Structure formats: structure tokens, C-alpha cells
Copies of this chain bind each other. A is one copy, B any other.
Amino acid sequence: MSTDAPRPEARNPRGFVDRRARDLVAERRILAAVSSVYERYGFEPLETGAFEYADALGKFLPDADRPNEGVFALQDDADSEGGGQWMALRYDLTAPLARFAAQNWETLPKPFRRYAYGPVWRNEKPGPGRYREFVQCDADTVGSARPEADAEIIAMAVEGLEAAGLPAGTAILKINNRKLLNGLMAAAGVSDDGQKLAVLRAVDKLDRLGADGVRLLLGEGRLDESGAFTKGAGLNASAAERVLAFTAAGVGGRRETLDALANVVGGSAEGDEGLAELAAIDAALTGLGVGPDRASIDPSVVRGLEYYTGPVFEAELLLQTLDERGQPMRFGSIGGGGRYDDLVARFTGQQVPATGFSFGVSRLATALKAAGRDLAAEVRGPVVVIAFDQARMADYFAVAGELRAAGIPAEVYLGSSGMRPQMKYADRRLSPAAVIIGDDEIAAGTVTVKDLDLGRELASGVTDNAAWREQRPGQVNVPRGELVATIRKILDARP
């Protein structure tokens, strides 16, 4: 550490951020609330290591030219036992679960129900709000093919989001089944992959073009206002109506939707299978007390269809928010999941049915804020005991200790500055109050308490000055024995 050595620049690696109290309060409260719900549903916690061997991660196998494609990968020491292998930081929590389940399958209680949270890493180009490290929270049931296992995951996700603080009615969990879409294609006579894609693309424009526009795109094609022609999927009229009926089926209760869907995809083998699974999910949800206002069946959900094998779920925030240009926009997805049956088989060859739900913690924190629950605004600093006099430090510490013993965060100022910078320090810490103990106070057996919350409220202009000043005088001198009660009054007065 020679002073001659060139000094490195203090900076974060690109795509990585530091999170302070404001960011962490929401994240920690979400994880505590959701963990508590998940454990009540009988899911046990699991934490796996940050690294997996690259072959176990599967999706992003490193190659000689570019070992870091999508993941952060490195080669373990070549001279170690079992060394020289490529390792990569996990990019989600599902791949490590599959590895863990395959590794311990013989000894695990089955079905195996676990939840997990922690950072995942993506070696991608960072951007505004897009980081290369973020925290996910997953719950999965491995080893149950029953639709009731999906229903429990759905009910638990709904309850978890509510426990995290989303007000009832602000979010909904939408359920679909990949088999319905396959059944629809069969019923509409679509078997060609290119035509399937054209149908999906047409359906995807429903929000923008409405049913009439989509009807054209499902048929021969559509001429837009600019005169450009988009070729259609080439369905005949009855097939196109079937597709439109499918997309329109997600209204009303779950039973109504299932009835409407039966008319459209019933009769095809896959369609019937999907309908039967959704009917069982509906029944279990009803048994679990989860009504259609909290979990609906919605055939428009197309979440990651290539990955999932049956039911899929999407949690959606129903509120509108503003985009960067101040325009109203739907907030959209908070998390999702579904049934997947191939991940353990990668290791063992044995098909193991699994289902799960996953959400990004900072995304949920953003959703909470959009729903009016800004936990960051609740962050407070400690009460600061102003330090005047080196000879009085023991008195200051005794006051801080008394507040702490009462459960109130407190500290003695330990820098080397005078009164005014100490007040500024307390203000920057977002302290509710500063405690002043000078010679006068000590002689009189009192303490002076300065209400910093009030100062911030007055400064922010949200409070009517006169009315507040009457109730909260800003600074009071009270007997030493009333210190804790005086501070509590300030803490409780917070709007």
C-alpha cells in the first residue's frame, strides 16, 4: 500500500449497484413477509451456492471462443482434484434446484417443496434499470403431477404478494395452459409452424388493433392507414372466429371462462387435457378460498411457452403507472411461473413433474411503490445525541443506551465537528430528533430534544406551519426521566 502506487478509481463494476437503507428496507420486508407465507404452506428454505458447474446449468454451455455468453463463467484451477472445470454463477434459481433435486432425489421427502431467494447474475449489457445482479424469490414443488400442486403455488403466490404489501385488488394472478393453445391450433386446423406463428402474432396485436383488425390478420391480411399491407395467417372464417373466441374467453369467473374455452378447444385431445387440469386448479383454488378476483383463468397469457409444459401463471399489477415521458402505461407483470417437467430429467433421465412461481424482488418493490406503498419513505435514522464536551461523553453514552434499551435507534455523534455540523449530520441521517445535553441541562437534570422530523416536514412544505407549530414546538426542554416518552411522541406524530 505504498503511497507511490497508482491509485485505483473507486467505482462499481458496470451493471452492479450499491443498495443503501432506502433500497434494502423494501427488499427485506418483502422477503420476510413472503418467506413467512411460504413456510406456512409447508415449503422449506434452501440456499445453494453462487456457482454451478457450467454443464449442470445447461442452457449456457461455455465454448472455447466466448465462455461468458450470458453468464459469468470461469475455469476452476486446473491443478486441483476435479479441477479445470468451467463454473458459472447461477442465472436463476430453477437450474440450481434441478441440480439439487437430481443430486438428492433418493433421500428427499417427495414431493419436495422448497422456496429460495438470493441474487442471480446475468452477463448481459446493462442499461437503465437493467442490472447484471438482482434478487429473485422462487417457490417450487418437485415431484407432484397433480393440478392441486399448481393451485397451491398459485394460492401461495397470491397470498405472498398480499403479505408483501400489495393492497387487495391491485394485482391478479392469471392462469393459462399451454395445452389449450395447442388444442386451439388443432381445432382451428393449424399444424404448420409458420402459420402458428402468424396466428400468435395476430393475437398479440389485439390490444392495438381490436377484434376487427385481428380478424383481418388471421385471414387474408390487413391494409393499414398508411397503405401498407400485412399478409395474414390464412385461416378460414370459422377458424378465425374460433381464435377470436379463444382470446375473448377470459372474462367473468373461472367457471365461465372454462365453459367458454370448452366451446372453442374442447374435443381436441390436448385441449381437453388442458381444460381438465384448469378445472382441477379452479376447484382447489376455491377450496383454498382464492376467488376469481385474485386468480383468474386468462387464455391471453403466453408466458415462456417454450419452457413450460402445462399450466402457466402470470402475476399482473392492475394499476396504471407513468412511463418516462409521463404517459400512462400498464405496469404489467410482477412475476410468473408454471409447470415444467424436464429439468431433473436432464441429469437423471427420469421425468420429474415440477411447478413453481418466481418473482424479482426489486420489481415487486417498484410495484409496491406504484400501489402507494413506498417503504423507502419510512426509513429513519437514529436519534443523535449531540457531543459538546469530551468530559461528558459518559453522559451522552448513557442517554444513547437508555434510548436503545427502549428499542429506539440512537447514537452519540462521534465525529470531530461542532454543533451546527452535528445538526446537519443528524438531518442527513434522517434522524427524528437530536438530544442536547449541555452544562445547563446537566445542572437542571433535564435534556433538550429538537424535533427534526418537524423541521423536515416544514421544509418540505407538506404541512401547515401554524397548526403544526402549535402541537409541536420544535424544541423542548424536559426532565431527564421524560426523555424516552418525548422521543416516542415525535416518532408517533409522524404522518
Contact = CB atoms under 8 A, between A and B. Distances in A.
Interface in A116-158: 119, 121, 123, 125, 133, 141, 143-146, 148-149, 152
A1 B342 contact: yes
A347 B10 contact: yes
Interface string A1-37: 1010001111111101111110110001000000000
A382 interface: yes
Given A111-B415, A287-B397, A50 B410 contact: no
Contacts of A17: 49
Contact of A44 (B81, B146, B381): B381
A212 interface: no
B148 A284 contact: no
A123 B407 CA distance: 41
Contacts of A77: 68, 123
Contacts of A226: none
B16 A49 contact: yes
Interface in A264-290: 283-284, 286-289
A20 B43 CA distance: 11
Contact of A7 (B286, B346, B381): B346
Nearest to A72: B74
A138 to B, nearest CB: 15
B414 A12 contact: no
A328 interface: no
A292 interface: no
Interface string A242-262: 000000000000000000000
Among A41, A133, A428, the one with the most B-chain Cβ atoms within 10 Å of its Cβ is: A41
B7 A348 contact: yes
B80 A50 contact: no
Interface string A51-89: 111011010000000001000111011001111010101
A74 to B, nearest CB: 5
Interface stretch (A97-105, A194-202, A447-455, A478-486): A97-105
A394 interface: yes
A431 to B, nearest CB: 9
21 contacts: A7-B348, A10-B56, A10-B100, A10-B103, A11-B56, A12-B103, A14-B76, A14-B82, A18-B49, A19-B48, A39-B409, A40-B382, A41-B409, A42-B429, A50-B89, A111-B414, A144-B414, A149-B414, A152-B411, A287-B398, A288-B400
Interface of A: 1, 3, 7-14, 16-21, 23-24, 28, 39-42, 44-53, 55-56, 58, 68, 72-74, 76-77, 80-83, 85, 87, 89, 99-100, 102-103, 109-111, 113, 119, 121, 123, 125, 133, 141, 143-146, 148-149, 152, 283-284, 286-289, 342, 345-349, 381-382, 384, 393-398, 400-401, 404, 407-412, 414-416, 425, 428-429
Given A24-B46, A111-B414, 13 more contacts: A9-B347, A11-B53, A14-B82, A18-B49, A19-B46, A21-B44, A21-B46, A24-B47, A144-B416, A146-B416, A148-B414, A152-B411, A284-B397
